[in-house]
Amino acid sequence: MASKRIAQADRTRCVSCGACMQECPREAICVWKGCFAVVDCALCVGCGMCMRICPADCITLVQREAQA
């Protein structure tokens, strides 16, 4: 069953350092061409590990339905 919440990165504030990518246990987040982090909704389980490591504090957990 899919998780209720998933991670979402604020692209305007993401510094594309890749800390989230290193942290993610599911390899559900990657840095798109050095511009910003992108979450794979199908893989993300909303554990929040990326949110807690992000140096720019730009990742939040959102309701799966409410994702932009």
Partner 1 sequence: MKAKQKHWYNYLWIWTIVYFLLGFFNILFAWLGMIDFLLPLCLAIFGGNKWFCNHLCGRSQLFTVLGKKLGCSRQRPAPRWLSSKWFRYAFLIFFLTMFGNILWQTYLVFGGAASLREVVKLFWTFRVPWGWAYTAGTVPDWAAQFSFGFYSLMLTSTLIGLIVMALFRPRTWCGFCPMGSMTQLICKAKQHGKIPQEIQ
Binding site for partner 1 (CB under 8 A): 13, 15-19, 21-22, 25, 27, 31-35, 38, 52-58
Residue 67 CA: distances (Å) to CA of 17, 22, 40, 52? 23, 23, 12, 19
**Nearer residue to partner 1 within complex by CB, 1 or 12:** 12
Cβ 37 to partner 1, closest distance in Å? Answer: 10
- Helix, strand, coil fractions of the chain, as percent rounded to 5: 15, 25, 60
**Nearer residue to partner 1 within complex by CB, 16 or 61:** 16
